[in-house]
Amino acid sequence: MEILDVIRNRYSVRTYQERPVEEEKLQRVLEAARLAPSARNMQEARFVVVTEPSLRSALVEAANGQKFVGQAPVVIACCSVNTDYVMRCGQRAHPIDVAIAIDHMTLQAAAEGLGTCWIGSFYPDKVRPLLGIPDTVEVVELLALGYPAGEPPLSKSRLPMKAIAARNHWEQALQDSEKGA
């Protein structure tokens, strides 16, 4: 499958089959994260792969009551062990680096026939004790992973290219898209 096809077909899955994820597929998803770039090659991303049904059920409450979190056969707590580095541009590196690794995982999962959903609505202080994550480690996101149940959405609404990209200089189309025009 071509990478743009994988990207076009990927969507946020919120209903999963009970079917377990094969270990080989899970390892390829994690390998995609391991290969992701990071600022200064710090490789600060760490992952707790949760497959135990009782822990997945406990994560539902930590994830603001989102039931699909417990339904997914795998939930990955995506963490960072280094949260201090600020890039010259003023951005903290670790949330960006972890996000790149997560995106690599979502695309590999889609290529494997699996579905994913980024979960930002969760309470890190509830996740940490459930998974034994130290207070010095930041839980950046959760990622649900498994075989989708049901059909994908027919289409995704996206802005036209001229509203998001300009050549060489900021153009009026970008300004207009900021205002919602």
The structural domains of the chain, with segments of one domain joined by +, span 3-154
Q: What is the mean pLDDT of residues 51-71?
A: 97
Gap between the Cα atoms of 161 and 172, Å rounded? 13
For the chain, give the percent of residues with pLDDT over 70: 97
**Selection from 117, 95, 107 nearest residue 45 by Cα:** 95
Gap between the Cα atoms of 181 and 105, Å rounded? 34
Asked whether 63 and 120 are in contact (CB, 8 A), the reply is no
pTM for this structure?
A: 0.93
What integer best gives the mean pLDDT of the chain? 94
Gap between the Cα atoms of 40 and 115, Å rounded? 31
Asked whether 119 and 61 are in contact (CB, 8 A), the reply is no
Question: Class assignment of domain 3-154?
Answer: alpha beta
pLDDT band at 67 (very low <50, low <70, confident <90, very high): very high
Six token digits for residue 152: 């994908």
The per-residue pLDDT for 154 is 78
- 114-153 residue pLDDT tens: 999 999 999 999 999 999 999 999 999 999 999 999 888 8
